[in-house]
A and B are shown apart, each in its own frame.
Chain A
Amino acid sequence: MRSPLLQGVIKLVEPRQILERARSEGRLKLLEHESLKLCELYGLPVAKYGLATSEEEAVTLANDIGFPVVLKVVSPDISHKSDVGGVILGIKSSEEVRRAYNAIVSNVFTRAPGSRISGVLVQKMAQQDLEVIVGGIRDKVFGPVVMFGLGGIFVEVLKDVSFRVAPLTEADVDDMIREIKGYRVLEGYRGSPPRDLESLKKIILGLATMISDLSEIEAVDLNPVILYPQGKGALIVDARIILGG
């Protein structure tokens, strides 16, 4: 399914509101729930989430989303959340939500004193599977450019990624997916199933549209995107969106 945005009923009001709010607060990086919201507005599949500003709210959200969940601190002052104890994974009950919520707030208070806390993100813990990265940047020569690669060692060490200059057609996306050296991993090998490339294509195309539409965006990392076997879709777990200075 294509989102209404991709079908050409371009409604940039909501995306722009998110960007303007960040800008008015002097932030060049969107908060995590804002990034995820922007992805949703472009029809990209994100792991279910909500922003809690109280323990009670966190519990309600967790029950709505369904366990297990993960809790992450949302702060304009903290970029490496795990380093300050701002992320707690594998939460399976309301009681654990309460404990995690309070633990995060107190961790941040002691390990990153003075940091503003916008809230705590409650997010569905996505089932582990193959991780890929989809990204975008605005290059000063080529304008909006998108990137795709397999996660982990493939991108970190081997830099096995492919790029395309937007705008993209489906043929370009097909091509860029096949271009990486690790493509066989996506086709399925040694009992590992072939991956849902249709969902992956939609994410790449949607991101290309987003970064082309919104000239305020400087860079986007969707990392990781969990890519499930064919027919089972894909989920964006973490989205990082940076605005131009």
Chain B
Amino acid sequence: MNSLKDLFHPRGIAVVGASKDPTKIGHIILKNIVEYGYKGGIYPVNPTVSEVMGLKSYPAVSTISDKVDVVVVSVPNVKVLDVIDDAGKAGVKHAVVIASGFKEVGNIELENELVRRARRYGMRVLGPNIFGYVYTPERLNATFGPRDVIPGNVAFITQSGALGIALMGSTILEGIGISAIVSVGNKSDIDDADLLEFFDEDPNTSVVLIYMEGVSDGKRFVNVASKISMRKPVVVIKSGRTEAGARAAASHTGSLAGNVLLYETAFKQGGVLSAKSVEEAFDFVKTLSWNPLPHGERVVVITNGGGAGVQASDTLADDGIHLEKPPQDFVEEVKKIVPPFASLANPVDLTGMAPEDWYYRSVKLAVQNPEIDAVLILYCHTALTSPVGVAKAVSKAIEEAGVSKPVSVAIIGGMEAYEAIRYLTSIRIPAYPTPERAAHALAAQLKYRRYREYLMKKEHLINKSS
């Protein structure tokens, strides 16, 4: 059994430092836990009051008679060790240490002592210096971030606090469904690799997104990442890509082995998709979590404008995906729809006069065709059609096709285009405002497919030789 199971499926959760003051972090965390709908036992711990938010308040964790698996520690750093002792003796399995003032400010000894103390009781530590964690399958939001996280299948691990909370809000805005959000902070004990091992086994998670400043055990990260990546894609935003990497080195190899380069290597080896920006990462997460895994790399691009088609083809080519002629039977069928001057090489140009119905018919044909692995749909807003109308035609085609296939949509235009994108993302069809972003997000899925095959081939070689 995974050692983090009780962290994500706790029978009861105590919040030490749960205050009546609504501006205090301890209060906000308790409020989020209650209001997001956690069904297990909720125990505020605060010796100075008898109740918080209508819940009985306890003077110490050890005075709670019910089972408590997680203690959220929201007290000043100097009081944390006492809480650990108290909770440890009470048999609590996980300490979620919100408090800051540890390694991040040079207080290394206090952090080491925190971990030593917790280990003595067999307790694992998340944090310190974090905003908490979320696990939507248990309706658990133990953070001081936004409350109404959308349930879904993406697990988000973040080393950054402020950016992490902000991105938590962005997932709501972007319509990205979340299984878990874990603020890892100083990673004194629980780190990315531990969490990847849990999410690998977690049936509620199918994609993992990490915002990473760095790891302490790179070898273990590569090892664990390459295991989960055979089943679930992992996307990483690694901060500090431009950091001066070269070290003063006595060897040639050492002088070339910059930090950034080694992380890139490690990601590649672990099958991890590296995203340069938050925007790119979210774009990837949408195709990866909403689309099925592609069976091959035969992409067909359907567009109503040549320019958008070229932008998309160039982006795909940069990503190593080269468009081939579409299957003949598909072309024959599309010919019956479009005017004779339409170009039916790849991209398939329905022409600027294409009404919603042409999108509906051609997208449906493409999704149904067994010789096509993925469909990229581009629409430039014209006077003849409405973006929302085209979006609906596209979604209807996908729904009625009877087969599930990776798709990515670009709706290019103004405010109405934006509404059409919102509509598509609300029904989990990845949609973007530019042809490049739609193409690049689809390419990420194909890249993941390559990584996965490579990892499986490697595992096969290792199994064969052992």
Contact = CB atoms under 8 A, between A and B. Distances in A.
A142 B458 contact: no
B218 A141 contact: yes
B49 interface: no
B108 interface: no
* Most chain B CB within a 10 A radius of its CB, from A137, A155, A170: A137
A65 interface: no
A236 to B, nearest CB: 14
Contacts of A141: 214-218, 259, 262
B162 interface: no
Contacts of B256: 135, 147, 149, 155, 159, 161
Interface string B206-223: 000000001111110010
B257 A143 contact: no
B277 to A, nearest CB: 23
Nearest to B246: A159
Interface string A72-87: 0000000000000000
A50 interface: no
B292 interface: no
Interface stretch (A11-19, A105-113, A215-223): A215-223
Nearest to A134: B253
A133 B254 CA distance: 13
A219 B262 CA distance: 15
Given A137-B257, A139-B257, A172-B458, A163 B262 contact: yes
B261 interface: yes
Contacts of A28: 250
Contact of A219 (B251, B261, B265): B251
B269 A172 contact: yes
Interface in B256-308: 256-257, 259, 261-262, 265-266, 269
Interface residues of B, number: 26
A137 B253 contact: yes
B1 interface: no
Given A137-B249, A142-B266, A155-B256, 4 more contacts: A133-B253, A137-B254, A145-B257, A165-B269
Contacts of B266: 142, 165
A136 B251 CA distance: 9
Given A29-B250, A171-B454, A172-B269, A165 B218 contact: yes
Interface string A153-180: 0010001011111000111100100000
B461 interface: yes
Interface in B71-114: none
B262 A135 contact: no
A146 to B, nearest CB: 8
B418 to A, nearest CB: 40
B87 to A, nearest CB: 32
A221 B251 contact: yes
B231 interface: no
B413 to A, nearest CB: 39
Nearest to A166: B219
A88 interface: no
Interface string A113-150: 00000000000000000000101110101110101010
Interface of B: 214-219, 222, 249-254, 256-257, 259, 261-262, 265-266, 269, 454, 457-458, 461-462
A172 B254 CA distance: 20
A75 B207 CA distance: 56
Contacts of B251: 135, 137, 218-221, 240, 242
A220 B326 CA distance: 51
B416 to A, nearest CB: 44
Interface in A196-224: 218-221, 223
Contacts of A149: 256
Contacts of A221: 251-253
Nearest to A141: B218
Contacts of B216: 141
B454 A175 contact: yes
B265 A163 contact: yes
Contacts of B259: 141
B433 to A, nearest CB: 33
Contact of B265 (A29, A133, A136, A165): A165
A142 B222 contact: yes
Q: Which 10 A-B pairs have the closest CB atoms?
A: A135-B253, A142-B218, A219-B251, A141-B218, A163-B265, A143-B219, A221-B252, A171-B458, A147-B253, A137-B254
B383 to A, nearest CB: 47
B385 to A, nearest CB: 45
Contacts of A219: 249-251, 253-254
A63 to B, nearest CB: 34
Interface string A231-244: 00000000010100
* Most chain B CB within a 10 A radius of its CB, from A133, A142, A162: A142
10 contacts: A135-B251, A141-B214, A141-B218, A142-B218, A165-B269, A219-B250, A219-B253, A223-B252, A240-B251, A242-B251
Contact of A169 (B218, B250, B458): B458
A14 B314 CA distance: 56
Nearest to A139: B262
A161 B251 CA distance: 15
Contacts of A163: 257, 261-262, 265
A159 B245 CA distance: 13
A223 B458 CA distance: 29
A113 to B, nearest CB: 24
B341 to A, nearest CB: 41
A164 B249 contact: no
